[in-house]
Amino acid sequence: MNIWPKDAKKSEDWPEWEKAVQIELTQLQQMGTWRLVEKPPDAIPLANKWTFIRKRNKAGEIVKHKARLVVKGCAQRPGYDYVETFSPVVRMETIRAILALVPIKGLKIQQMDVKGLTSMGY
């Protein structure tokens, strides 16, 4: 369940959320997903917001506070706000689950290209 930013700031978990925000910003910077530039006079900035999620284990205990900076992509205009698109990142747990199903279901894998974020501990 997502936590609203105003609620996250008021909660006793805020120090954990703040760490999660710093981790997210560091990852985005290390991956080169953005750079700070001057806004062109005719540009219309896209709105963004933080989303906060508590990750829990099977027992329901909080194991991680996760923060993501998201942009309202539905407001983007092709050719003006962006010229390229990129595929989302796949988690290793997802790949492992799919590979585990291959022999069980008698499937065949023809091609797969996976790049991970091992340098960041993922």
Q: What is the pLDDT of residues 69-99, one digit of tens each?
A: 888 878 888 887 777 777 677 888 998 999 9
Q: What's the full length of the chain, in residues?
A: 122
* Residue 26 counted as domain residue: yes
Residue 89: what pLDDT?
Answer: 79
In which domain, by residue range, is 28 found? Answer: 2-117
- What is the end-to-end Cα distance of the chain in Å, rounded? 22
Task: Answer yes or no: is 30 within a domain.
Answer: yes
How are beta strands 2-3 and 48-56 bridged, if at all?
Answer: antiparallel
Among 26-30, 73-77, 83-87, 103-107, the least confident range = 83-87
Q: Tell whether 66 is covered by a domain.
A: yes
Task: Give yes or no for a contact between 49 and 43, defined as CB atoms under 8 angstroms apart.
Answer: no
Answer whether residue 61 is part of any domain. Answer: yes
DSSP 8-class letter at 118 = G
Asked, for residue 39, whether it belongs to a domain, the answer is yes
Rounded Cα gap, residues 69 and 50, in angstroms: 5
The reply to whether 79 falls in a domain is yes
Can you give the pLDDT at residue 107?
Answer: 92
Q: Hey, what are 25's tokens? A: 């910003």
Residue 122 belongs to some domain of the structure: no
How many domains does the chain fold into? 1
